[in-house]
Structure 1
Amino acid sequence: MVSISLNPYLFFDGNAREAVHFYEKVLGGKVMGIMTYGDMPADPNHPLTDNMKNRIMHAHLKVGDADLMFSDTFAGMHYQPGNSIQIAIHPKEEARAREIFAALEDGGQVVIPLHKTDFSPLYGMVKDKFGVNFNVSVPVE
């Protein structure tokens, strides 16, 4: 029984939609879903600009048995071409997600603390002591 999965997570600066469709064509993949920041429930404390609403929050491309995930950076997040790949980790259990996150955080830096979201019971982003960025997300059952 597999209790964890990993996949590359590619970040872009406003052109993630173009990238998803480019890789779909080039790799013969299938887009499984695209969600924009505007698709999320509005937060009156943090209103989104029209440009931000249209940016890709999460896209999933299936290529054979592999999963590629895509996102545009959120306003204010640093983007540097070539440094735009993260590793997405999907432990099935929240306790395991907390263990992994804590281990990666040791000597590293929390980018987004673990918290409940509309798309995951537990999600967070952490940069480890080697400078590698990880998204930890427990899948919705």
Structure 2
Amino acid sequence: MTINTTPHLNFRGDARAALELYQTVFGGELAAVTYADAHAVTEPAEAGQVMWGQVASAGGFRVMAYDVPSHTAYEPGVIPLFVSVRSTDAAEITGYWERLVDGSTVVVPLGEAAWAPLYGMVKDRFGITWVLDVEVPWDAS
């Protein structure tokens, strides 16, 4: 059996724009189903918002997103979430960082850390905090 864990991000009207950004950063295919597509419109002004969306790349990156409808409580930041992107390839992480950092707030600049040759944290314009690092075997000594 194989299992994959995929972060599912919640937005209020920005899911498509967020998925488009993540596609430009990580590549892959973007799929989005609107509330109208699914015949699940509860508020006409939200018909074009994303009920189910995802970006998935051949390299293994995957993220899902949807727009929380107005009739549902939504408090971004109340329960914080970090999305961790790890690779053993420094060039790959650097490329993702360079594309993701545009228009974002750098929390920790990409650089060497005690546990990784490259580590950085950035909060994108949608309020999602991304942690990017180069994965190396942990040496507890």
TM-score, normalization by structure 2: 0.49
The answer to which structure has the higher helix fraction is 1
Which structure carries more relative contact order (alpha carbon 8 Å, separation 6+)? 1
TM-score, normalization by structure 1: 0.49
Bigger Rg over Cα: 2
